[in-house]
Structure 1
Amino acid sequence: MKKIIHTNYVKYFLVSVLTLLSAHIFSQDKEQKDTKFSLTGSVDAYYRVNLNRDNGFDDSSKLPNAAPGSSFANLPGFALGMANAIISYEGEKVGFVSDLVFGPRGTDAIFASPIYSATGNIVNQLYVYWKVHESVKLTFGNFNTFFGYEVISPMGNFNYSTSYLFSYGPFSHTGLKVDIALSDTFSLMLAAMNPTDQTELNSTGKYAFGAQLGYNGQYLNVLTDDGAYEIDFTGGLDVSDQFYLGINAALYDHDGLGFAGVALYPQYATSDNFSLGLRGEYFTEMGDYGAIGTGEADSDVFAITLTGSAKIGDLTIKPEIRLDSSSDESFNFLDKNLQPQKSMSSLVIAAIYAF
């Protein structure tokens, strides 16, 4: 009798151990699967004031009276950036990204999506991918551009305001691209896409084609789109542990109308929590492209932006001074009498929280 009871105890003990072990393995497996899902993003707001120009607001056009001719961070006084929520799943072979934006910066980012943006389109990126091979990846859907040094999310840029080159290059594409790792140092990307920034659908029946050749973090980009073409170089190097130098140069032409320019991004980290960065940009128009706002042909602008970046946990504070100077009087640079001028200086203080 004792032997039978003892045997039963052993059975119960073994069953209990196996049950707990199975539960632990299942829990670990579930946890590993759950970690493939992620929710990241940011929230930002800012204060902007012109130091030597008008700070009013034109109620008829709903636009600031004076602001740089570049995207984002152009609203006067205390203003909103955007809330950005990125939901993603990264599998061994397949995955997706759903990048949602809310607020003025997000609305500006999807400016060329007129059909659904009027009814609440909040999609910045929406794509699926398939790793066909360890060196080949297919991406299908809406993705931010591969052009340029800067990006839409304020967390991806050192300067809070953006450059002319970024503002007048493409923002996003919808289509199919293939990324190929040619070696440990060389990469190649090929893409077939809707016309530039038409992210919801193709309204013309024409397509754009792009390519990118990368070498050790330096990228040469090419885009053709309905008779227009753009060539872009983006790169940078670590001069030292504290000093980084980035560069962006681009040329865009559409039947003689377009732009060209170059921007340098020296950045110096004074500590783990504070860095200084400068953006020096020269941007010139071919014809009256309209980016600088002079109404004249072949105008150019030189812009210097000095930005500090102070980290407080997940919060980043960015004070920024920007000086824009154009070759001709610009309607973007209005004085207090709303007359066009050749230059403008502005101050921005931004707060960005990343999660």
Structure 2
Amino acid sequence: MKTNTITTLFKKVCLIALAFISFTAVAQDEEEKKWFDNFSVNGSVDGYFRANLTGPNKAADGEFLAPSTSFANQNGFSLGMANVILGYEGEKVGFVADLVYGPRGADAVFNSEGSANIINQMYVYWNVSEKVTLTMGNFNTYLGYEVISPTGNFNYSTSYMFSYGPFSHTGLKADFAINDEWSAMVAVMNPTDYTENNPFDTYIVGAQLGYAVDNGSAYLNFRYGNEGVPGEVGPTFQADLTTGWDLSEDFYLGINGTYLSTEPQEDGDSFGFYGVALYPQYKTSESFTLGLRGEYFAEYSGGVDALDVDDEGDGSVFAATLTGSYAVGDLTFKPELRLDSTSEDSFEDGDFEPTDSLISFTLGAIYKF
């Protein structure tokens, strides 16, 4: 009898001890989970060196001579931008505050210059369900292959299609996860690149259909609307296809094609641009990848002032950019050789005579954290 009593008492003590240990572990887990655990901070810093190889770095009129694309177009050693991205990812809601400072950042938010021009993106979102997410605020464009941040591009310099397409939008968008492979998006937005307010009281609509699997993805994008003062500027329509696939463990191919047309308000023809670019990349080792961007870009009926044009307002360019990407930890060096060949004489040679081609060299350095 005494033995049974002791055994029963021992079992009770063990159960109480186990319960106490379990309670303590749960309490520790709850205590270790801080309120700021869902916050994140990341970003990048970049700079570059650029020089022309077949012409002067300054034209006869004293202006910098460079391809008429965005960002990496200054002479000598130049600054890119400092980028800090703050985020909060809750179970249902969250936000992103993407802040930039420096020449690349100022160029990216040019229509906001002089006010809050350190804002690259600033939006809030609500996961309404597992299939639907609503986002409101300022977000980078969904069109095109390239992005503003150099960490999201393989080439350091940017393409013509990216440079003269939209950079950012401010508005309300709804993303739909149709199934594990297909997605869709619809949006109502301010005129393109007017990120802080709407000065024209007009809106544009956007749409996207996406398909993504393990080895690649494809996105068909659209936007339509009046990008300026009604009666002065007609509606703009743009269709864009962006796709990229891992064709093998070491070889990747990206493709971007776009078409943009703006309607005239009075007599005349629609004007705009179109283009296509291929982005093959080959990984030679864990630290080095070699890639090429081959782009054909043309504007018609005056276009968007991207190129020198003929009497009909037409002009085109073929640009081939060979880029190496060498990673040393979180720092990446990108040496780049670029050829721009235009239909009209858009550059100057060593004797300051008009010429239709320019070869330039760029070395970019990007630190990502």
- Pairwise same-fold verdict (TM > 0.5): yes
Counterpart mapping for 1:196-275 below 5 A: 196-216=192-212, 217-226=217-226, 227-255=235-263, 256-275=270-289
SS for the counterpart of 2:345 is strand
Greater alpha carbon shift after TM alignment, 288-297 vs 161-170: 288-297
- Report how far residue 348 of structure 1 moved: 0.3
Contact 1:292 1:301 (8 Å CA) reproduced? no
Asked if 1:147 corresponds to 2:143, the answer is: yes
What is aligned with 2:85? 86
- 1:313-351 Cα shifts (integer Å, max 9, x gaps): 000000000000001111xx2334544320100000010
The answer on whether the counterparts of 2:97 and 2:122 sit within 8 Å (CA) in structure 1 is yes
- TM normalised by structure 2 equals 0.86
Hey, what's the Cα distance between the residues in 2 that align with 1:340 and 1:102? 36
Q: Over aligned residue pairs, what C-alpha RMSD do you find?
A: 2.2
Q: Give 1 or 2 for the bigger CA radius of gyration.
A: 2
1:205-229 deviation digits (Å, cap 9, x = unpaired): 1000000001122000010021110
- Bigger drift between 255-264 and 17-26 goes to 17-26
Q: Measure, in 1, the Cα distance between the counterparts of 2:237 and 2:325.
A: 35
Structure 1 residue identity aligned to 2:163: S
Which aligned pairs between 1:315-354 and structure 2 lie closer than 5 A? Answer: 315-330=331-346, 333-354=347-368
Output the CA distance in 1 between the equivalents of 2:21 and 2:246: 54
Paired letter, 2:46: D
Scaled by the length of structure 1, what TM-score is found? Answer: 0.89
1:83-162 → structure 2 map (5 Å cutoff): 83-113=82-112, 117-119=113-115, 121-162=117-158
Unpaired runs of at least 5, structure 1: 1-12
List gaps (5 residues or longer) in structure 2. 1-16, 227-234, 264-269
The residue matched to 2:57 in structure 1 has which SS?
A: coil
CA distance in 1, matches of 2:184, 2:22: 50
Residues in 2 aligned to 1:58 and 1:187: alpha-carbon distance in whole angstroms: 51
After TM superposition, give the deviation of residue 21 of structure 1 in Å.
Answer: 4.8
Task: Report the AA paired with residue 322 of structure 2.
Answer: L
- Which of residues 301, 308, 319 in structure 1 aligns to 2:317? 301
Q: CA deviation at 1:282?
A: 0.3
- Identical-pair percentage: 55
Q: How many positions carry a matched residue from both structures? A: 334
Does the aligned pair in 2 maintain the 1:57–1:76 contact within 8 Å? Answer: no
Q: Which letter does structure 1 place at the counterpart of 2:55?
A: R
> What does residue 182 of structure 2 align with?
186
User: Which amino acid is the alignment partner of residue 222 of structure 2?
Assistant: V
Distance 1:179 1:25 in 2: 34
